[in-house]
Amino acid sequence: MSGNQFDVVIVGAGFAGLYMLHRVLATGRTARVLEQASDVGGTWYWNRYPGARCDAESLAYSYSFSSDLEQEWTWSERYAQQPEILAYARHVADRFDLRQHIDFDSRVASADWDEALGSWVVKTGHNRMFRASVCIMATGCLSVPRRPDIKGLEDFSGHFYQASQWPTEPVNFKDQRVGLIGTGSSGIQAVPVIASEAAELTVFQRTPNFSVPAQNKVLDADWVDAFKARYSEHRENHRQGVGSGFGDLAVLPQAGPMDPVLFESLTADQARDILEAAWERGGARFMGAIGDTLMNPVANAFAQNFVHQKIKDIVDDPEIAAALCPSNHPIGTRRICVDSDYYATYNLPHVRLVNLLKDPIIQITEHGVELQSEHVALDTLVIATGFDAMTGALLSMNITGSKGLTLAEAWSEGPKTYLGLMSCGFPNLFMITGPGSPSVLSNMIVSIEQHVDFVMSCLEFMVDHQHQRVEPDPKSQSGWMEHVQEVANSTLFPQGGSWYLGANVPGKPRVFMPYAAGVGPYRLACDAVAEADFRGFEFA
Ligand SMILES: Cc1cc2nc3c(=O)[nH]c(=O)nc-3n(C[C@H](O)[C@H](O)[C@H](O)COP(=O)(O)OP(=O)(O)OC[C@H]3O[C@@H](n4cnc5c(N)ncnc54)[C@H](O)[C@@H]3O)c2cc1C
C-alpha cells in the first residue's frame, strides 16, 4: 500500500492534468496521475475525427508557463489540427519528464474521503487503490460522450464511429455512403472532410448551429517570429480577458486592445461593416466584434440576420439554406462553431441535408436510417452528438466526501462550487475548470493554467500555516453560485437551451454552469480571495 501513497493524486492527463503534475512535482511533492486513456492529451487523444482542430488560435491555445516551450514549439496552422495538438501534449509530457508519474489505462471508479486519516482513497476500475491527502480532478469538461437516444442505434451493421471516441487506425470513407448525425462543433468540422472522400454524405440535422469561417491558413514564419518576440505581452492580453482568453491574434500588441463598440452607437451600415470585417478575419472572435452581442437582444438579432444572409449567399439551394439557418437560439448562446467550408459543402452534388424537423428519424436499421418519408441506405454511420458537459466526468465517478455525502447528492439540483474550484463537504478535492468558473466559455488553456496556479498557491498557503484540510465555507459557496447565476442572467446565454445549461441531457438539472464574466474579472476575483488569506475557504 505504501507504494500507492502520494501527496497528491490527479485524475486525468489532458492539458489540465499535465500542468498540474508539473507544478506539484516542482515543489518536491509526490504525485500520481490516473488516466483512463492509453496516452496523454485528453480531448486531443479521444477526438481524432476528420477535421478535428482547435477553434482558439494555435499560438493562444498552448501553454504559457514555459517561455522555452513556447519559443521552441512550432505551430503550422492558424488553427492546429488534432494530430498536431496531440503531438504537442506528448512533447510536453516528454520534455518535462511527466510520463513516469502517470498510470494509463486506469479509470478512476471511486474517490472516498477518509476523515480519520485526512486523505482521499482513490480506486481504479481494476481495484487498484491510491491514497493522497489532496485529490485533483482534471477530468475535463467535455470528456463524457453522449449517445443519442435513437431507436435501433445498436442494430446498424455497417461501420459505426463516434466523433469523440474515434479509432486510432485510419478510417477510409472512399466509395462509402456515409451518414452523419449531429451538427455541433464536431459535426461541422467533420462534414467538409468526410464529403471530400465519401461517395455520398447524408447529414441528418435536428438543430442547426451558427458557424463562422475559421479562415484557417498556414502560418507565415515572419509573422510567427514577430508574435513570439512579444509572446509575454500576448499572454497577458489573453489572461486579462480580452475575448475570454482568445486574444486578438490578428494584431500585434502595439495595435492596442480592441475597443468594445456597442451596437447602439453604430448605424446599421457601420455594424454590418464591423461584422463583415470579423467574418473575413475569421474565428470565434466574431462574437466580440460588437461588444454587446451576447447581452443586447437587438444587437444579437442583427448578428443572427448577418449570418443567415451569409448562409443564403453561400448555399445555392434556398430550401437547404433556410434549413441551415438557426432560429431557435440567439447567436453565441450555444458554442459558436468555427468551420472551413461547412456551408459550401452543401453545394456538392453528393452531399445531402436531411432536415429532421420536417422528416424525423423513425429508427436506425441494420442498413441505414429510416426516416418518416424514406429509408436512407448507408455503409457508414458517424455520430457527433456532444457530451455530458462540465459535470459528466465528475459525476460518473463515485465521489464521497465527509459525512458520507456523495457528489451526486450534493449536486442533485445542479453543481455547487466556490469559484468552480471546490465544493462544500469535499475537503482537499480540487476541480480544474469546474462548473462556476469560465471554463468552456474561455480559451481553456488560459483557464487551466490560472486554476492550477491558484491550487498551488492554496497548497503553499496550507503548508505555511500548517493546515491539513481545506474546503469552502457554505456561505461563500452559495454567494458565488448566486453571483454566477446573476451574471448569466445579465446575458442572453440562458436563452440558448444549450449544453452550458445541461439541456442536451435528459433529466440533468437546468443550471447555467460556466461563469460568464470572462477570464479577466474571474482572475481578479480569485486573486482577491488569495490575497485575503483565501477568504471563503475554511482551513483546519
Ligand atoms: C473537439 C473539441 C475541440 C475543442 N477545441 C477547443 C478549443 O479550440 N479551444 C478551447 O479552449 N477548448 C477546446 N476544447 C475544450 C477542451 O476540452 C479543452 O480545451 C482542454 O483540452 C481540456 O483539457 P482538460 O485536461 O481539462 O480535459 P480533457 O482534455 O478532457 O482531459 C481529461 C482527461 O481525464 C480523463 N478522465 C476523465 N474521467 C476519468 C476517470 N474517471 N478516470 C481516469 N481518467 C479520467 C479523460 O480520459 C481525459 O483524458 C475542445 C473540446 C473538444 C471536444
Rounded CA separation 42/35 (Å): 9
Residue 115 CA to ligand 1 center (angstroms) comes to 31
Contact between residue 163 and residue 49 where contact means Cβ atoms under 8 Å apart: yes
Ligand 1 center to 463 CA (angstroms): 30
- What are the residues facing 398 on neighbouring strands? 110
Q: Is 443 in the pocket of ligand 1 (CB under 6 A)?
A: yes
Identify the residue whose C-alpha is closest to ligand 1 atom 19: 444
CA 532: distance to chain centroid? 31
The residue whose grid cell reads 510536453 is 92
**Among 330, 320, 328, 331, CA closest to 358:** 320
For residue 246, the model assigns a pLDDT of 73
Specify which residues 111 forms β-bridges with. Answer: 122, 399
- Write the pLDDT tens digit of every residue in 145-191: 999 999 999 999 999 999 999 999 999 999 999 999 999 999 999 99
- Tell me the angle at which helices 231-239 and 519-531 cross, rounded to the nearest 10 degrees: 80
Q: Does residue 200 line the site of ligand 1, with CB under 6 A?
A: no
- Please answer whether residues 539 and 467 qualify as being in contact, where contact means their C-beta atoms are separated by less than 8 angstroms: yes
Confidence of residue 252 (pLDDT cuts 50, 70, 90): very low
Cα angle 374, 377, 378; round to 5: 140
Query: How far does the centroid of ligand 1 lie from the alpha carbon of residue 14, in Å?
Result: 6
Mean pLDDT of the chain, nearest integer = 95
Q: What is the rounded average pLDDT of the residues 451-474? A: 98
Q: How far is the CA of 43 from the centre of ligand 1 (A)?
A: 4
**Using a 6 Å cutoff on CB, does residue 511 contact ligand 1?**
no
- Alpha carbon distance 510, 463 (integer Å): 39
The yes-or-no verdict on residue 1 having pLDDT over 80 is no
Question: b/e per residue, 256-278, with b = 16+ CB within 10 A?
Answer: eeeeebebeebeeeebeebbeeb
What's the CA gap between 391 and 256, in Å, rounded?
37
Atom of ligand 1 nearest to the CA of 109: 41
Strand partners, 137: 11, 431
Q: Whose CA is nearest to atom 26 of ligand 1?
A: 140
Residue count (the chain): 540
User: How far apart are alpha carbons 423 and 409 in whole angstroms?
Assistant: 12
Residue 163 Cβ inside 6 Å of ligand 1? The answer reads no
Cα separation, 243 vs 253, whole angstroms? 14
Taking only the tens place, the pLDDT of each residue in 334-391 is 999 999 999 999 999 999 999 999 999 999 999 999 999 999 999 999 999 999 999 9
Give the tens place of pLDDT for each residue, 500-538. Answer: 999 899 999 999 999 999 999 999 999 999 999 999 999
pLDDT at 253 over 50: no
Q: Is 54 in the pocket of ligand 1 (CB under 6 A)?
A: yes
- Is the model's pLDDT at 444 over the cut of 70? yes
The pLDDT confidence band at residue 248, using thresholds 50, 70 and 90, is low
Ligand 1 atom with the smallest distance to the CA of 163 is 1
Å from CA of 229 to ligand 1 middle = 29
| Residue 38 grid coordinates | 492509453
The pLDDT of 123-149, averaged and rounded, is: 96
**What integer is the mean pLDDT of 452-460?**
98
Dist CA 187 CA 168 (whole Å): 19
Report the atom number in ligand 1 closest to the C-alpha of 433.
Answer: 26
State mean pLDDT over 485-499: 94
pLDDT at residue 251 above 80? Answer: no
Given a contact cutoff of 8 angstroms between Cβ atoms, the answer to whether 493 and 294 are in contact is: yes
Radius of gyration of the chain (CA): 23
C-alpha cell at 196: 471530400
In DSSP terms, 34 is beta-bridged to 11, 103
Is the Cα torsion angle 95, 98, 104, 110 positive or negative in sign?
Answer: negative
Task: Give the atom of ligand 1 at the shortest distance from the alpha carbon of 443.
Answer: 11
Report which secondary-structure segment, H or E, holds 133: strand 129-137
Q: Name the grid cell of 292.
A: 454587446
Rounded to whole angstroms, the Cα distance separating 332 from 87 reads 30
Of all protein residues, whose CA lies closest to atom 27 belonging to ligand 1?
140
Hey, whose CA ends up nearest to atom 35 of ligand 1? Answer: 12
Percent of the chain with pLDDT over 70: 96
> Residue 448: CB within 6 Å of ligand 1?
yes
Does the structure show a pLDDT above 60 at 256? no
Task: Kindly give, in sequence order, each residue whose CB lies less than 8 Å from that of residue 289, ignoring residues fewer than 6 positions away.
Answer: 261, 274, 275, 277, 278
| Residue 255 confidence class, pLDDT cut points 50, 70, 90 | very low
pLDDT band at 258 (very low <50, low <70, confident <90, very high): low
Instruction: Provide the 8-state DSSP code for 219.
Output: P
Mutate to test the pocket of ligand 1, among 10, 23, 43 (most ligand atoms within 8 A of CB): 43
Calculate how far, in angstroms, residue 440's C-alpha sits from the geometric centre of ligand 1.
10
Percentage with pLDDT > 90 across the chain: 93
Q: Which range has the worst mean pLDDT, 126-135, 255-264, 327-336, 512-521? A: 255-264
pLDDT in tens, 53-109: 999 999 999 999 999 999 999 999 999 999 999 999 999 999 999 999 999 999 999
Q: Does the pLDDT value for residue 243 go beyond 70?
A: no
Supply the pLDDT for residue 247: 67
397 pocket-lining for ligand 1 (C-beta < 6 Å): yes
194 close to 171: Cβ distance less than 8 angstroms: no
- How would DSSP label each residue in 237-292? HHHTTTTTTT--TTS-GGG-PPP---GGGS-HHHHHHHHHHHHHH-SGGGGGSSTT
Residue 339: beta bridge partners?
Answer: 213
Which residue lies with its CA nearest to atom 49 of ligand 1? 42
Cβ of 433 less than 6 Å from ligand 1? yes
- Residue 185 Cα, ligand 1 centroid: separation in angstroms? 14
- The amino acid occupying position 188 is I
**Can you say how many angstroms the Cα of residue 173 is from the centroid of all Cα atoms in its chain?**
27
> Taking 70 as the threshold, does the pLDDT of residue 240 lie above it?
yes
The pLDDT of residue 431: 98
Nine-digit cell at 432?
480544474
- Averaged pLDDT, 242-262: 58
pLDDT at 126: 87
Instruction: Count Cβ atoms below 10 Å from residue 81 Cβ, excluding itself.
Output: 19
Task: Check if 16 has its Cβ closer than 6 Å to any atom of ligand 1.
Answer: yes
What distance in Å separates the CA atoms of residue 162 and residue 48, rounded to the nearest whole number?
10
- Is-contact 423 435, C-beta < 8 A? no
Each residue of 196-238: pLDDT tens digit? 999 999 999 999 999 999 999 999 999 999 999 999 998 998 8
For 51, the grid coordinates are: 477535421
CB of residue 389 inside a 6 A radius of ligand 1: no
Is ligand 1 within 6 A of the CB of residue 145? no
Q: Is 186 in the pocket of ligand 1 (CB under 6 A)?
A: yes
Closest atom of ligand 1 to 447 CA is: 11
Ligand 1 proximity of 272 Cβ (cutoff 6 Å): no
- 15 Cβ below 6 A of ligand 1: yes
CA triplet 63, 68, 73: central angle to 5 degrees?
Answer: 65
C-alpha cell at 320: 437547404
d(CA 26, CA 65): 13
pLDDT tens track for 29-59: 999 999 999 999 999 999 999 999 999 999 9
Maximum distance among all alpha carbons in the chain? Answer: 70
Mention every residue, 6+ apart, whose C-beta is less than 8 A from residue 260.
288, 291, 292
37 lines ligand 1 (CB under 6 A): yes
